[in-house]
Amino acid sequence: MTVTTKMHTCVSVRGMLRWDSRYAKRMLKTVSHDDGTPFRSVEELREYLMDELAQGHEVLPVGDPCEGFDYKTGCPGHRVES
């Protein structure tokens, strides 16, 4: 039996705020609100990210948060036996 650790992906809120405006405009096509509606502008996305920081969220999950997801450190890792 082999034991591995599965890690789910997350993204840094501060890192996203450092995106230059051209890259941020391209990312508007792939980033959306929690309910799936797209952001209408780079400014709206930046405001959302600032709100996340104000809540103490340093990272955001890519997709739905996994069990045990922490908004400061991300995925805790999940043991997988095969």
Distance separating alpha carbons of residues 22 and 42, to the nearest angstrom: 9
Which of the four pLDDT bands, split at 50, 70 and 90, describes residue 78? Answer: very high
In this predicted structure, the answer to whether residue 25 has a pLDDT above a threshold of 90 is no
For 61, phi then psi, to 5°, come to: -70, 150
Which of the four pLDDT bands, split at 50, 70 and 90, describes residue 63? Answer: confident
In this predicted structure, the answer to whether residue 30 has a pLDDT above a threshold of 90 is no
Which residue would you say has higher pLDDT here, 50 or 33?
50
The residue written with tokens 């930046």 in the block is: 46
State the average pLDDT over residues 6-19: 94
